[in-house]
Amino acid sequence: MTRHTHASPHHRPADQTGKPPINIPASEWRFPINEEKKAKSLAVIYQEASLKQLRYYPTFLEHIWNQMRFQPLTHWLTLGSLLLSAMLLALRFRLKSGGAPEMLTACSVFFVFAGNICLSQIARLFSCHMAELEQTLYLNLRQMVCIRMLEAGIANLIILTVILGITGETNPLGIGTSLIYMLAPFLWSNILYLHMLTCLRNTGSGLFSYALGLLCGIAALFPVLWESAYRPEYLTIWKCLTIAGVFLLAAEIVNLLGRIDCEDTAIILSR
């Protein structure tokens, strides 16, 4: 009959030869650790662990991509049409080599309308009662508005570059001065648009936003009514208007984001 015994590693029972048990301390009984192998194994474990994500955090670029890929096809067609129109308009003035005031008026009015159309995608976020729901998502309404503004800003920058780049050589005023003449109405029209967006409580969807954009764009038509608007002596006023416009637009954006965050805009605008 075999008898099983549980032997401690420290006190081994006498073997079959009858020799007495050998007492070995635990530290000596273990195999020596291969430090190099241990470090390599740990590095592999660390690498595997770093790849395992318990929670998914999308990057900023992923958020932008997610916002862009769910934009309707009409939005991309509109942007494409705007870019094409900007090219054609600029080419027309380049070939025609007409007077600077005529070109500036036409281009700045076009730029203002284009800016407002690009900005109308923000209004879409507030339409169809979506604002309340969007405010509760991981990427919330405020962040969505920021992404849409960034997108609109990039689109505007491309359009402006196209216009100034194509007309640059034939433009007697130079790119810097033309930039000021075009930016001032653009900035003020955008301020008006954003202000109306929060104050008038946009209730409709696409059409209302476009109508609002057109209305604000009309403000850019004033040089048509006032022929001497582009005379050099008024350039300082244009510069002041541009600087003031930059600050006011920034303030208007901060106000809009603040209202979404702190006030009950999500509710008000979704009504």
Partner 1 sequence: MPELTLDRITKHFKNKIAVDHVSISLQDGVYGFLGANGAGKTTLLRMICQVLKPTAGEIRYNGIPINKLDGDYRYILGYLPQDFGYYPDFTARRYLEYLAACKALPPDLLKEKVQEMLRLTGLEGDQRSKIKTFSGGMLRRLGIAQALLNDPGILVLDEPTSGLDPKERIRFRNIVSSLSKGRIIILSTHIVSDIEFIADEILLMKQGRIIEQGTTAKVTESMHGKVWEYLADQDEALRMNDTFAISNLKNEGDKVRLRLVSDTCPCKGAVPVSPGLEDVYLYHFEEVSEHVEHLERRTL
Residue numbers at the binding site for partner 1 (CB under 8 A): 53, 55-58, 66, 70, 72, 124, 128-140, 144, 205, 262, 264, 266-267, 270
> Are 66 and 58 spatial neighbours (Cβ–Cβ below 8 Å)?
yes
Rg (CA), the chain: 34
Nearest-10 crossing angle of helices 175-199, 206-217: 130
Amino acid at 180: I
Position of tokens 């192998």? 37
Taking the complex as a whole, the smallest distance from the CB of residue 51 to partner 1 amounts, in Å, to 13
Taking the complex as a whole, the smallest distance from the CB of residue 55 to partner 1 amounts, in Å, to 7
Instruction: Give 29-78 as a DSSP string.
Output: HSPPP-HHHHHHHHHHHHHHHHH--SS----HHHHHHHHHHTS-HHHHHH
Taking the complex as a whole, the smallest distance from the CB of residue 110 to partner 1 amounts, in Å, to 28
Instruction: Tell me, rounded to whole angstroms, the distance of Cα 30 from its chain centroid.
Output: 59
> Are 172 and 99 spatial neighbours (Cβ–Cβ below 8 Å)?
no
Nearer to partner 1, 137 or 218 (CB): 137
Nearer to partner 1, 131 or 182 (CB): 131
Taking the complex as a whole, the smallest distance from the CB of residue 216 to partner 1 amounts, in Å, to 24
Amino acid at 13: P
Nearer to partner 1, 102 or 132 (CB): 132
Nearer to partner 1, 58 or 172 (CB): 58
Taking the complex as a whole, the smallest distance from the CB of residue 3 to partner 1 amounts, in Å, to 51
Nearer to partner 1, 17 or 136 (CB): 136
Taking the complex as a whole, the smallest distance from the CB of residue 156 to partner 1 amounts, in Å, to 24
d(CA 259, CA 268) in angstroms, rounded, equals: 10
Size (the chain), residues: 271
Nearer to partner 1, 7 or 137 (CB): 137
Amino acid at 83: L
- What the block records as the tokens of 254 is 């901060």
